[in-house]
Amino acid sequence: MKNDLNTLWIDGIWMQGDGPPLRTSSPVDGQSLYEKNEASAQQVASAARSAKAAFDNYRTTTLEERMRLIHLFKEALIANRETMASTISTETGKPLWEALQETDSMIDKVSISKSAFRKRCRVEESYQGTNPVRIHYKPVGALAVLGPFNFPGHLPNGHIIPALLAGNTVVFKPSEKTPLTGELYARLMQQAGFPPGVFNMVQGGKEAGKALATSSELDGLLFTGSRDTGKALSKLFGAFPEKLLALEMGGNNPLVIDEIEDLNFACYIAIQSAFISAGQRCSCARRLILIDSPFATKFLSQFIESTKRLQIGSPLSSPEPFMGPLISPDAMHHLFNTQEELLQRGAISLLRSGRVGDRGNFVSPGVIDCTGLQSIPDEEVFGPFLKVIRVKDFDQAVEEAEKTRYGLTASLVSSSRHRYEFFQKKVRAGIVNWNAPSTGASSKGPFGGLKDSGNHRASAFFAADYCSSPVASIETAEVKMPAKLPPGMAL
């Protein structure tokens, strides 16, 4: 695909971009991965018009036909499982084992979406007097999907499959950092045989995303990404209440470690929460809250030593690494700058993050004690960087967990069900886990945040909700006048 200049899929045709150059390089070694052109404003508009025009016919197709097409996409994805995983791994730098997990999640999404649609969008019937009242579900319209770089296949797929299943049409813009994954995804959609215009894909950065967000042809936008971009979209869409906007915007997630018997388990949960995917998951723990005790001291010592032993390397390294690189030099420098700023404020480094090797964007995990600082920036640092905050008791731990404008995930490690139930009630987050990593989420439940982490449009199993609009109908085949007319009416 690198030497094929066709990179846009619009109305069932592959074409070259007419916009500015789009170039990406490997986060592993800096070598060029992609050199093509973005979509021009006119091409983005063409994709939106194509989706709008295709919607009128696609919305009337039977659910069985839409399920058939989505099943064909699943078969194409299964046949290209290794290719998809290799592409994700190459572009993001994540270990191949993790990219294979992502691809398998994409495959599983098809069956889960079918189950979710049947359960959450089934026709329901009740009665108003003798008249049946039915609730039907209709597609929203032509939707834009803006994908992130960290799960360039799984996260946009989690919007696209439910949207197409419900009868919507789609214009997909992958992250400008992972265009190859987006291109491969579009080629598999082509293999599935969706009618022209039902699925479209355009490449580009901020300007292409803005063009989709402001398109009068589109009926909604599904976004996963940063808080700042999500806030800007929310402000923009405030003038268009008739349009759907679903936002997932990350978090400054707390992990509270209470006293338990198994120290290894606590360390495992902390590492999985903070450092999986090199900390590049919106659900990663950013704050480790410890209740002062001999256990906490012992835990922290073992956690630091275990973190030092984490394997960091390129996707195909042997033995397999736990962590790959950060996505870009900018991401790496932002992490280091944040670390220095906190040290200047008086924080104490327990494990200093630094560059690993002289090529690529590899960094070692950082752990920094911020206890006692006058103010701790309420910021999502997208990398393997964990702030430690010590508190005197469990009540203070819960209070500290809530000290954030975000509300995506929160996790408690504790042997006490009573404490978990208190934690679950008090902490405002879309996912609240007990003795599971903060990154632990199931496609069979909702995934979405509160406060500055989202706008109450949970995805995963609940994506069916925002991909369809409920319509109430009082229905009767009998034409019959009422026995008595209302006062003041004469016919």
Rounded Cα gap, residues 90 and 99, in angstroms: 9
Q: Locate the DSSP E strands across 129-232.
A: 131-139, 142-146, 169-173, 199-201, 220-224
Spell out the residues 6+ positions from residue 250 whose beta carbon is closer than 8 angstroms to its own: 225, 226, 227, 282, 380, 382, 406, 408, 449, 453
Give catalytic status of residue 242 as yes or no: no
Q: Which amino acid is at 420?
A: Y
Strand bridging mode 6-10 / 13-16: antiparallel
Vertex 256: Cα angle to 252 and 257 (nearest 5): 145
Rounded Cα gap, residues 391 and 388, in angstroms: 10
Going by C-alpha positions, the residue among 480, 470, 471, 472 that lies closest to residue 130 is 480
At residue 62, what are phi and psi to the nearest 5 degrees?
-75, 155
- 3-state percent helix, strand, coil for the chain, nearest multiple of 5: 40, 25, 40
Catalytic residue among 38, 183, 248, 400: 248
DSSP-assigned beta bridge partners for residue 474? 133
At residue 250, what are phi and psi to the nearest 5 degrees?
85, -170
Q: Which residues are catalytic?
A: 248
